[in-house]
Amino acid sequence: MEQQLEDLVLLKKTLEIYDQKQIAEYLNDLGQDNWNREMINRWLKGKSQPKLSYAEYEHLKLLLPLPPESNDYDFTFIDLFAGIGGIRKGFEAVGGKCLFTSEWNKYAVRTYKANHYCHPEEHSFNKDIREVTLSDQSDASDTEAYSNINKKIPEHDVLLAGFPCQPFSLAGVSKKNSLGRKHGFECDTQGTLFFDVARIIKAKQPSAFLLENVKNLKSHDKGKTFRIIIETLEDLGYWVADVHEVGADDPKVIDAQKFVPQHRERIVLVGFRRDLNVHEGFTLRDVSLPESVPEFKDILQPAREVDKKYILSEKLWVYLYNYAIKHQMKGNGFGYTLMRKKNKVARTLSARYHKDGSEILIDRGWSDNKGFDDEANMRKRPRRLTPRECSRLMGFDALGESNFKIPVSDTQAYKQFGNSVAVPVFKSLAKLMKPQIIQAIQIQKNHTKSA
């Protein structure tokens, strides 16, 4: 009876990541071929009590990420708007330990749980951060909100967040100004997800934070969005790195092509608690770059490994080709990018890649001169990247590796990688921040001892 309970617990954990059909097919890989979706469904509903053999139990365990070899860590962090864990992966690589994760997309959660070990007692998972900050409850008081945050989110050293870019409304601010009432970030940022980040920072006062967003955050809503974010962070008692830097040389804007073969610009806001005074001399200009960067061709799988389903249909290829010509004649640029052997860096992989793959197409020997009437040429239509190649392009997998688990459909995988961050960038950022983080932890320990 005890073993059957353990079997069911394991099954339910794997079903947080994979569906019943995937689990049945995986168990049948052992050669018994006696599992199917209906059997697993009946088991979950208590209508049957099948038993896993020892081999099946151990095989099923392999679907879950392994715990770290050692529980030793240098600092702790929380992972907000986590996606599939790209920022987490970078900070774990330099000795960080994740205590709390928040991500609302159910497919991203599956990929996250497939790849990142979440300790059942030392880590908690939240789907909607608004349920923690109570920003989804209009009648919740500030006192109730901060009490709930302190209850749900553990103490941590670093807050990580890749929050969405949203405009701020100043309607509430104008009204309070007219009434002569005091206002701050609680009013300025209300209704945005940055508001939730700010509330958590105010409640937990981490030593440091790293916030990631699209490059256009700086100019969004004529610069108002960025200005309010910076003012809020400074009002909360934080120093923000390179805050006054502007222009093309702004170190807050980092292009991933310095690390991976993809042009991908993101803005990064790094801050430290001003009262800890650990920020002196810190600048994002000191981010360490790799000695060499792989070329685009290095992330590709051998042609024999690529399923034919990734080759564009004749209809789609004709459409994209003619669409590009039409817009080129109008001076609007190209409608697609065909990556040939000479091309070393790809365009930005976007969340819309699943639609047609037009921003990054792999050349298979297509000849413009031969065109569409040549049957042999048509068989050389370009293809999309595979999800595995996307994983390598984003740095989740190293070159030649296939360790990052992709439990979702191709469509969802393309969306997830397109919405994610280039992992090597954030590993380098974590490495840069670590000395200040460790110093801040030590200062607080000394304050506690002397108190």
Question: Left, alpha or beta for 173 (phi > 0: left; psi -120 to 50: alpha)?
Answer: alpha
187 as an active site residue: the answer is no
C-alpha dist (Å) from residue 448 to 276, 279, 441: 13, 21, 11
Name the phi and psi angles at 98, rounded to 5: -85, 130
C-alpha dist (Å) from residue 392 to 301, 324, 431: 10, 28, 21
* CA torsion angle 208 132 425 382 (round to 10): -170
C-alpha dist (Å) from residue 293 to 288, 298, 299, 398: 13, 10, 11, 12
Contact 79, 160 (CB under 8 A): yes
- The crossing angle, in degrees rounded to 10, of helices 37-44 and 2-14 is 120
Distance from C-alpha of 204 to C-alpha of 149, rounded to nearest angstrom: 8
Distance from C-alpha of 49 to C-alpha of 54, rounded to nearest angstrom: 16
In one-letter notation, the amino acid at residue 2 is E
Catalytic residue among 118, 165, 187, 390: 165
Stated as kind and residue range, the H or E segment containing 239 is strand 238-240
C-alpha dist (Å) from residue 218 to 55, 306, 319: 54, 40, 35
Q: How many other β-carbons are positioned within 10 Å of the β-carbon of residue 243? A: 14
Q: Is the dihedral of CA 165, 151, 128, 135 positive or negative?
A: negative
Q: Which two tokens stand for residue 423?
A: 């992992």
Active site positions, annotated: 165
